[in-house]
C-alpha cells in the first residue's frame, strides 16, 4: 500500500509545488491564517524534543468521547477549507533538508496543529519542524525520530477527508465501548498494539503489546481475567500446528527437540518426532505441549480469561519484538511488555500474592496457578482514531481493514 501511495504522490508533485506558492485566497492558505491564532503556544520550548501527548485519561473514557466529537468538528473545518497538501515522498526529510517538499511539510504540519503557524512556510527543515514531526509521529504511533521516512510520509499523506471519516467511524465504537465502564479494568487497543490498566478513570500503567497478524487477527473480547498461570506449559493450537509447526519440521527435523515441545497421542502416550509423517496432516491429530521455561512461547506467565476463540495474554521470550514499529506478529493472542507489573496490579487484592512473591515466581520457575480474588474486566477493542481531552488527535493504521477506508476512498474518489 505504501509503494502505491508513493507512486500516486510522485504524480502529484507539480500540484504540490503550486500549492506551496499559492496566494492567500487558496483554501490551504486560509487555514494557515486561521491557525496562526489557534495553535500559537507550546512550540517555543519544544524545538528539540516532542511534547508528551499521552496523559492519564484512558482511551475508553466518556471524556475521550467528548474529545473525539470536538476533533470531528475540527477536521470537518479542515476538510471544508480544502484539506492539507501532500508531501512528496521523493527522499527522506530531516533537519538540514531544504526545498519545496519541506514547504509542503510545514503547511501540512501547521494545518494539523503540529507546527506553530507563526513559524511560517519556508523551505527550511529546522529544529522546530523536527519537534513538530516528532509530535506528529507520536500521535500516529510511529517511532519518534524527527525524520520523514516511508511510514511518516504515508501517514502525512492520508487525506483530511479520510481522517475525518476515520474519526466518525471510531466515535461510534468509542460510544459503545464506554457504556457502563467498571472502576477497574484492562483494555487492549488492537490497532495501537497497546494495553492500558485503568482504575477510577485514570491509567495506572500502559504497556506495549504484540497482537495478531493480518491473516490471524486478534478478536474483539469482552471478558474477565480470572487466573494467572506462572511458568505455564504451552499447548500448541491446531491452527499453529498446521500453519507453522509442520512446515518447521519439514525444514528442520530437530525443531521440536530444540524448543522442548513434546508430542502426545489421544491416549496420552508420548511420541517421538520420528513417529510422525511430517509430509501429511497427521500431526494435527496429536497434542503438542511445550515445557515451561525461558524458551516457552508464553514466557514466564499467562493471563487467562474465558474466550470462545481460545485467546489469552502472555509474556514472551522474544522481547526485542516490542521495539518493532510493526507489532502484528502473533496468532491472535496478545504479548505484553512489562507484564510483571501488570500481573502485580491484577493480583493486588488476591491473598498470598504480594509483589515479592510474584517476583520470585519469575525466578524459581515453579509451575503455579493463581486464582484472581476479584476478576478484572477485560476489553480488547479496535480503535484507530481518538482524541485526548487536551485536543491532541491520534490515528493508527486500520491494520485489519475494519474502518472501510478503502471503500470510502473509492466512493468519494479520494486517493489513499
Task: Report which of 112, 90, 107, 81 is spatially closest to residue 21, judged by C-alpha positions.
Answer: 107
Distance between CA atoms of 307 and 311, rounded to whole angstroms? Answer: 6
Residue 75 CB neighbour total at 10 angstroms: 23
C-alpha 302, offset from chain centre? 21
- Number of C-alpha atoms within 13 angstroms, CB side, residue 45? 4
Report, in angstroms and rounded to the nearest whole number, the Rg of the chain calculated over CA atoms: 25
Torsion of the alpha carbons at 381, 382, 387 and 389, rounded to the nearest 10: 0
Answer yes or no: are the C-beta atoms of 391 and 71 closer than 8 Å.
yes
Task: Report which of 6, 321, 370, 327 is spatially closest to residue 152, judged by C-alpha positions.
Answer: 6
Task: Report which of 152, 136, 17, 132 is spatially closest to residue 91, judged by C-alpha positions.
Answer: 152
By CB neighbour count within 10 A (0-12 exposed, 13-18 middle, 19+ buried), where does 215 fall?
exposed
Task: Report which of 168, 172, 170, 161 is spatially closest to residue 191, judged by C-alpha positions.
Answer: 170
Which residue out of 140, 207, 314, 394 is catalytically annotated?
314
C-alpha 61, offset from chain centre? 18
- 70 is annotated as an active-site residue: no
- 394 is annotated as an active-site residue: no
141 CB-near residues (< 8 Å, 6+ apart): 192, 193, 394, 395, 396, 397
Residue by residue, DSSP assigns 390-414 as TS-EEE---TTS-S-HHHHHHHHT-
Grid cell for residue 181: 465502564
- Number of C-alpha atoms within 13 angstroms, CB side, residue 120? 5
77 CB-near residues (< 8 Å, 6+ apart): none
- Residues marked active site are found at 314, 333
Amino acid at each position: 500500500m505504501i509503494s502505491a501511495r508513493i507512486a500516486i504522490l510522485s504524480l502529484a508533485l507539480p500540484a504540490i509545488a503550486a500549492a506551496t506558492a499559492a496566494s492567500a485566497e487558496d483554501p490551504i492558505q486560509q487555514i494557515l491564517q486561521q491557525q496562526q491564532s489557534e495553535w500559537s503556544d507550546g512550540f517555543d520550548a519544544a524545538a528539540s524534543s516532542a511534547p508528551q501527548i499521552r496523559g492519564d485519561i484512558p482511551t475508553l473514557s466518556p471524556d475521550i468521547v467528548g474529545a473525539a466529537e470536538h476533533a470531528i468538528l475540527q477536521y470537518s473545518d479542515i476538510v471544508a477549507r480544502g484539506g492539507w497538501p501532500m508531501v512528496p515522498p521523493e527522499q527522506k526529510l530531516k533537519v538540514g533538508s531544504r526545498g519545496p517538499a519541506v514547504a509542503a511539510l510545514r503547511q501540512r504540519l501547521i494545518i494539523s496543529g503540529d507546527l506553530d503557524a507563526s513559524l511560517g512556510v519556508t523551505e527550511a527543515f529546522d529544529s522546530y519542524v523536527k519537534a513538530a514531526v516528532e509530535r506528529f509521529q507520536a500521535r500516529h504511533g510511529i517511532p519518534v525520530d524527527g525524520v520523514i521516512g516511508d511510514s511518516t510520509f504515508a501517514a502525512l499523506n492520508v487525506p483530511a477527508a479520510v481522517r475525518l471519516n476515520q474519526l466518525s467511524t471510531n466515535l461510534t465504537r468509542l460510544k459503545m465501548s464506554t457504556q457502563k465502564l467498571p472502576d477497574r479494568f484492562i483494555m487492549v487497543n488492537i490497532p495501537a498494539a497497546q494495553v492500558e490498566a485503568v482504575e477510577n478513570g485514570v491509567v495506572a500503567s500502559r504497556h506495549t503489546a504484540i497482537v495478531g497478524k493480518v491473516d490471524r487477527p486478534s478478536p474483539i473480547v469482552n471478558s474477565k481475567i480470572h487466573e494467572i498461570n506462572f511458568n505455564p506449559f504451552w499447548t500448541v493450537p491446531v491452527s499453529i500446528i498446521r500453519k507453522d509447526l509442520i512446515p518447521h519440521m519439514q525444514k528442520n527435523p530437530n525443531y521440536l527437540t530444540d524448543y522442548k515441545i513434546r508430542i502426545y497421542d489421544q491416549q496420552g502416550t508420548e511420541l517421538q518426532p520420528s513417529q510422525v509423517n511430517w509430509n501429511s496432516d497427521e500431526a494435527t491429530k496429536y497434542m503438542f505441549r511445550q515445557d515451561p521455561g525461558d524458551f516457552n512461547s508464553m514466557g514466564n506467565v499467562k493471563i487467562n480469561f474465558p474466550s470462545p476463540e481460545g485467546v489469552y495474554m502472555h509474556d514472551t521470550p522474544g522481547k526485542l519484538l516490542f521495539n518493532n514499529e510493526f507489532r502484528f506478529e502473533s496468532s491472535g493472542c496478545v504479548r505484553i511488555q512489562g507484564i510483571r507489573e501488570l500481573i502485580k496490579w491484577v493480583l493486588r487484592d488476591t491473598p498470598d500474592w504480594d509483589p515479592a512473591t510474584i517476583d520470585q515466581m519469575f525466578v524459581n520457575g515453579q509451575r503455579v496457578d493463581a486464582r484472581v480474588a476479584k476478576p478484572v474486566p477485560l476489553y480488547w477493542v479496535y480503535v484507530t482514531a481518538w482524541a485526548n481531552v487536551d485536543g491532541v488527535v491520534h490515528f493508527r493504521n486500520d491494520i485489519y481493514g475494519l474502518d472501510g477506508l478503502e471503500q470510502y476512498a473509492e466512493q468519494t474518489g479520494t486517493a489513499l
